[in-house]
Amino acid sequence: MSSLSAASLDHARALLRQFPLIDGHNDLPWVVHSTKTAGMSLKNYDLSRLHAETDTDTPRLIKGQVAAQFFAAFVPTLADKPGRMTLELIDMIRQIPEAWPESYAFATSAAEIKRAFRSGKIAVLATVEGGTGLENSLAPLRVWHAAGVRLMTLCHNETLDWVDSATDAPRHEGLTKFGEAVVLELNRLGIIVDLAHTAPRVMHRVLDISRAPVLFSHNNATTLCDHPRNAPDDVLDRIRAKKSVIMATFVPDFISQKARDWARPLKDNYGKSSFLENQEARVAAHIAEAGPQPKATISELCDHIEYLTSRTGLNHIGIGSDYFGGTTPEGLEDVSKFPYLIAALIDRGWSDQALEKLCGGNILRLMKSVERMGEVLRATEAPRTGRIEDYDL
């Protein structure tokens, strides 16, 4: 933070008034869903006021010059009634522009993001994070699309009946036939296929079969930090040919190898917290023995962005913060801090044209491509229907 030049920060803020900053992943709906006093109401939660206890609210989104935000309907893999919970969270995302139409506009396309930016509003986009809400049926995909969902992350931290997670034991050598049907139906609907959280074999299989470009909405580079949630080089090297995009994320364990190594004793073999009853005591004991966890930094995140660019090319990178009320890198504590990341890249010599692509140009291009492919496929293909037993014996 202190090493950033004032001129670069001013330059960053000026740029973000000229072109849109689009963040690919934020879990605010889950934060609100978990706030019992809110009763799943954004009005009760009052997004319009500062929420110092977490990282996302309207005042700080405005200060951070966020033009468009992909909000995730995240449902834990083992949630009771996951289909119902998914709908509750999609509804919560829809509540944002309904409650504050002066600040937000709901968007389902690249054109609508641009329209919102021109009108000075923050575009709200709905995504589903984790396919557990399908409950092994293809029908919800069309219902979600009708509700405005335009991106689906196939799984979360656990392997499902049809797709292997990066942070769980594999069961399917990647993707089952039902999983392939999910991907192909997402293509037909014009919904972006998001490969964050998936195992590398899933990444490769989807890159093989998808008729549209795909997205990695919140991943960093495995080469710089060996967390299994990051993307390996052999996947990164395929992104350019697929005209896809990978969005660098702010999760400290995915940025800093030192932070990742510090946390290993508190995680399972796949990098997930073990969630034992004595987890708080274990963390306290670990801090007493090893000291506090090393901080991830903006500089280290810039290293990931530049490494991703070196593997994929400048047309295939973006930003997917994954703000969720958890730990954050030093200098990127909340959504008001996006200009500081842009300023750090300016200090490294990034041009205005390159930053426009990173901030939003690349994801807008990907969205247009997915939209066009969906229009073509809906005109030529019938919907894929059925349940997992109709595809996987």
Residues 32 and 130: their CA atoms lie apart, in Å, by: 18
The catalytic position among 129, 303, 334, 371 is: 129
Tokens of 77: 């893999």
The catalytic position among 33, 218, 227, 304 is: 218
H runs (alpha helix) in the chain: 6-18, 28-34, 42-45, 58-63, 82-99, 110-118, 139-146, 177-189, 200-209, 233-239, 252-255, 257-263, 279-290, 298-312, 338-347, 352-356, 362-380
Tokens of 91: 């509804």
Q: Are 93 and 129 in contact (CB under 8 A)?
A: no
Clarify whether 218 is annotated catalytic.
yes
Clarify whether 172 is annotated catalytic.
no
The catalytic position among 11, 51, 197, 316 is: 197
Strand partners, 193: 152
Clarify whether 197 is annotated catalytic.
yes
* Amino acid residing at 343: A
Cβ neighbours for 78, distance < 8 A, ≥ 6 positions apart: 132, 158
Clarify whether 145 is annotated catalytic.
no
Residues 279 and 204: their CA atoms lie apart, in Å, by: 35
The catalytic position among 11, 23, 25, 33 is: 25
Clarify whether 25 is annotated catalytic.
yes
- Distances from the Cα of 358 to the Cα of 129, 255, 385, angstroms: 22, 18, 37
Active site residues: 25, 27, 129, 156, 197, 218, 322
